[in-house]
Amino acid sequence: MSNLVAPHRLRSRIDWRLCFIADMEALAGTDVLRIIGEAAAGGATIIQLRTKSRDTREFLQVVMKAAELLRNRKVPLIINDRVDIALACDADGVHLGQTDMPLPYARKILGKKRIIGISANTLDEARAAEKEGADYLGVGPIFQTSSKIDLPPVLGLEGIREIREKTEIPILAIGGINIVNVADVISVGASGVAVISAIAASDNPRGAATELIEAIGKVFLKERQGN
């Protein structure tokens, strides 16, 4: 295995099972920090913060408060798209899409002590991200979802299975994942899942996170007992 894809110490310390994406547009009209706190308390192992419409100063204000909250809870914080914001709040890393800053440039800015995830919709995109040194892949959409417009093609379970078989870094599956289908997604090889509405749209975000992390844990436990 090349040095680029070999798990480094930071990546190995991340619990990939459940990432809550705190999308500020999806959470408009709510207390974003409260929901982040509830998700973390319920068992979310990673929080990703993202916005597509808020200005930099407003986003930074929320991010700084979230970073302090999650630091106290020892839950990693990932910033979507914004390498500068990640640096400003001392986040654990960034998540980049296919049209965001190319990974080598982001790595040059962030260094090796922060993780960088890359969105992938195809096997070629996944392999390219791994070759460039991505720490994890955000693979999807697995199912149809209303959380994002202009979606690329839906991959389904077979799509994530193929990418898992031909890459080695952790995979966070995303897109339409909920308590009904989360076990199936983990069973085909995802290291964890990233969700928005499964937690954000719940009347009980903490309880929703707990249900998801317990369902994921049961799959991993069954796999260990079967080996």
* Active-site pick, 114, 119, 164, 202: 119
- Residue 202 annotated in active site: no
Tokens (6 digits) for 54: 């808020």
Whether 36 contacts 205, CB under 8 Å: no
Phi-psi region for residue 51, left (φ > 0), alpha (ψ -120 to 50) or beta? beta
Tokens (6 digits) for 83: 């390498």
* 93 SS3 class: strand
**48, β-bridge pairs:** 21, 78
- Residue 50 annotated in active site: yes
* Active-site pick, 50, 107, 164, 206: 50
* Active-site pick, 54, 127, 148, 161: 148
CA–CA dist 136, 191 (Å, integer):
9
**118, β-bridge pairs:** 96, 137
* 175 SS3 class: coil
- Residue 65 annotated in active site: no
Whether 44 contacts 14, CB under 8 Å: no
Catalytic positions are 50, 119, 148
